[in-house]
Amino acid sequence: MAAVAARELRDGEVVFVGIGLPNLACNLARATHAPNLVLIYESGAVGAVPERLPLSIGDPALVTGSLMVCGMADVFQLFLQNGRIEVGFLGGAQVDRYGNINTTVIGPYERPAVRLPGAGGAAEIAVHAQRTLIVAKLNPRAFPARVDFVTSPGQRCGERSRRGLGMPGAGPVKVITDKAILEADPATGEMVLAALYPGVTADEVQQGVGWPLARRPRLAAVAPPTEADLRLLREVLDPQKHYLKG
């Protein structure tokens, strides 16, 4: 999943890096095909070149050797709200049919069954990044038709589109899962099946999704990670398996 996500990043792009698997994917991309990726962390590190995979997005290794370190008011106002972020990378406990993400609560807000961490910087990344990529493992609880709480906006909110609501960024264009890639349909904003991992069928993907999943007329095949990708991920980037567990 990390290797597939890494491929979505183009060399030289300005990426706002979220916590967890996105962190791993961005650092893999930088170590392989995108050495000039500009990694911006909400903690204030700009052009970070971490010598170790940061456990948190505020790790001291993000500072050492980076191009700039600024305060968080600058990160959100001068970079993100200014429109300087090309790609936002987000994860989430729940992702729905329109790419809305929930990282706040499972169940009702006032009496949650599970209290999740909350928005962090994800809400504003989803609003402002020129495009966002979502990374999440497929299962029906994680992919309901509608999330319990919209923390970070997707392609549609009720009947209203992003543009109608005044959001500058294009929103989630792809959802990278462990079995397939979903893409936002330009007309409806709905996440539709676009590509399958080797050996995975469209029916298997449907079983992990809580709405009737539309399919692109021709499904692409996701290439497996290369030996070099796997070696980098397992031996160099995450030897302690902070992110690669499970």
Partner 1 sequence: MREAVSRFVHDGDTVVIEGFTHLICFAAGHEIIRQRRRDLTLARLTPDLIYDQMIAAGCARKLVFSWAGNPGVGSLHAFRRAVEGKSRGGLEIEEYSHFGMVARFSAGAARLPFWPLRNYMGTDLPTANPRIRSVTCPYTGEALATVPALNPGVTIVHAQRADPGGNTQMWGLVGVQKEAAFASERVIVVVEELVDEQVIRSDPNRTVIPGVIVSGVVIEPWGAHPSYAQGYYDRDNDFYVAWESISRDPDKLARYLDEFVYDVSDRAGYMEKQPQLAARLKAKQRLSRGVNYGF
Active site residues: 42
Angle at CA of residue 9, ends 46 and 59, nearest 5°? 35
Phi, psi of 43 (to 5 degrees): -70, -10
Q: Which residues of 196-230 are buried (b: 16+ CB within 10 A; e: fewer)?
A: bbeebeeeebbebbbbebeeeeeeeebeebeeebe
57 sits near partner 1 (criterion: CB under 8 A): yes
Closer to partner 1 by CB, 26 or 122: give it: 122
Scanning 4-12, 36-44, 199-207, 225-233 for contacts with partner 1 by CB under 8 A, the matching segment is: 36-44
Interface with partner 1 (CB under 8 A), residue from 31, 55, 192, 219: 55
Q: Which residues, 128 to 187, sit near partner 1 by CB under 8 A?
A: 128, 149-154, 157, 160, 162, 165-168
**Binding flag, residue 115, partner 1 (CB under 8 A):** yes
Shortest distance in whole angstroms from residue 145 CB to partner 1: 16
Q: Which of 31, 49, 119, 244: binder of partner 1 (CB under 8 A)?
A: 119
Show the DSSP H helices in the chain as ranges. Answer: 2-7, 21-31, 72-74, 122-128, 162-165, 202-207, 227-231
User: From the CB of residue 45, how many other CB atoms can be counted at a distance below 10 Å?
Assistant: 28
How far is the C-alpha of 209 from the C-alpha of 221, rounded, in Å? Answer: 19
Q: Find the part of the chain contacting partner 1 (CB under 8 A) among 29-37, 54-62, 133-141, 174-182.
A: 54-62
Burial class (CB in 10 A: 0-12, 13-18, 19+), 166: exposed
CB of 55 to partner 1, least distance (A): 4
Give residues in contact with partner 1 (CB under 8 A): 19-20, 42-45, 54-60, 62-65, 69-73, 76, 80-81, 100, 104, 109, 111-124, 127-128, 149-154, 157, 160, 162, 165-168, 242-243
